[in-house]
Amino acid sequence: MFSDLEFSLDNSFDLDFSAALLRFNGEAMLYCQGISDTVAREYAMEYARLLQNRAKGMETQQPRTPVGLFEPNRNLIRSTLDGMYEKYFRTA
């Protein structure tokens, strides 16, 4: 059985994590929606989902790089979303 302090700390962590996940999701979706190329936008949305799942502790696989997505664009998408991920889910 949890003590009141343990429950309070766990509840606080859950609330903080949920808030971070919502903020990341909002920023990532705005970024993805701003990508005009359909192939690049779909890749960005898949990569954002991968990062959301990683934050939740789920095993993830890199999304397949679609035909027509050039390496510089893929790298830009990944580095931008990775930066957002680090902003909200800093690892020690």
**What is the SS3 string spanning 13-57?**
HHHHHHHHHHHHHHHHHHHHHCCCCHHHHHHHHHHHHHHHHHHCC
15 lies in some domain: no
- Structural domains of the chain, count: 1
Return the residue matching tokens 């390496």. Answer: 71
Per-residue model confidence as pLDDT tens digits over 63-73? 999 999 999 99
Q: Is the pLDDT of residue 2 over 70?
A: no
Is 29 contained in some domain?
no
Q: pLDDT-derived band of residue 1, with 50, 70 and 90 as boundaries?
A: very low
What are 3-48's pLDDT values in tens digits? 554 544 556 668 889 999 999 999 999 999 999 999 999 999 999 9
Domain assignment of residue 19, yes or no: no
10/5 Cα distance (integer angstroms): 9
Residue 77 in any domain: the answer is yes
- Find the domain containing 45 and state its range: 36-92
Residue 92: the pLDDT is: 44
Judged against a pLDDT cut of 70, whether residue 56 lies above it is answered with: yes
